[in-house]
Amino acid sequence: MPKHRILHALGGLVGLLLVSSCAHPAERALQGRWEGQSVENFDKDAIAGATAWARGTSFEFEGRRLTVSVPAKPARTGVYELVEIQERHVTLSVLDSTGEADEMELIVDDEESLRWVLDEGRTLVMARHKP
Distance from C-alpha of 30 to C-alpha of 59, rounded to nearest angstrom: 9
- What CATH number matches the domain at 25-128, 1.10.540.10, 2.40.340.10, 2.40.128.20, 3.40.50.300? 2.40.128.20
User: Tens of pLDDT along 85-116?
Assistant: 999 999 999 998 888 999 999 999 999 999 99
Residue pair 125/113 in contact by the 8 Å Cβ criterion? yes
- The domain locations on the chain are 25-128
User: What pTM was estimated for this model as a whole?
Assistant: 0.79
DSSP β-ladder status, 113-117 and 65-69: unpaired
pLDDT of residue 23: 57
